[in-house]
Amino acid sequence: MQGAQLHIVLVDNGRSQQLGRAAFRNSLKCIRCGACMNTCPVYRRSGGHSYHNAVAGPIGAILAPNLDMSKYSDLPFASTLCGSCSNVCPVKINIHEQLYEWRQELTRQGKVDFGKKMALKVMSSVLSNPGVYRSMGKMGRWALRNIPGMVNNSMNPWFKQREMPEAPQESFREWYLKNRK
């Protein structure tokens, strides 16, 4: 057609920046198949809205901090790092490794709040000491059974929309030691 014009609009939307971050550029291969979301134990229980971002799930958690580290600094921490997402990804994005990498980058950039840093320090000392871990587990199970209001209260955003499971009488380790043949 005479006089017709062809307009090509290229939407970068932070992709060049992600390309420049060697540890994260692999995430740009995503074809949005959704497999990582469907397999993710966190996504399957929390749902898409809890990611407060257009792209939810594990892939969203590594794409979003690239756009705004302050706004999305919580997302890479919402993962167990089980690696199921990387395992199912058809284009082989190392999602769980990038989640771990983002945690370190966000900490270096000062985007992780003091409360979370302290909580992780405490968690680290509990998890690296089996005796303390077992005692804390005992105390936690007792507290959940006898003073559930300590956790099930309006200060706990998780509890507002979910029922907390009943605490078991014993840990898996205690059960195993009793029942192994």
- Give the footprint of ligand SF4 on this chain (CB under 6 A): 30-36, 59, 88-91, 93, 95
Tokens representing 174 are: 């205690």
CB of 57 to ligand SF4, least distance (A): 7
Place of tokens 């209001």: 149
By beta-carbon proximity to ligand SF4, the closer residue of 13 and 135 is: 13
Instruction: Enter the DSSP assignment of 166.
Output: P
By beta-carbon proximity to ligand SF4, the closer residue of 41 and 110 is: 41
Alpha-carbon span 128 to 27, nearest angstrom: 32
CB of 146 to ligand SF4, least distance (A): 42
By beta-carbon proximity to ligand SF4, the closer residue of 96 and 103 is: 96
By beta-carbon proximity to ligand SF4, the closer residue of 31 and 127 is: 31
Alpha-carbon span 163 to 137, nearest angstrom: 20
CB of 108 to ligand SF4, least distance (A): 24
Could you tell me the sign of the dihedral formed by the alpha carbons of 31, 32, 35, 40, in that order? positive
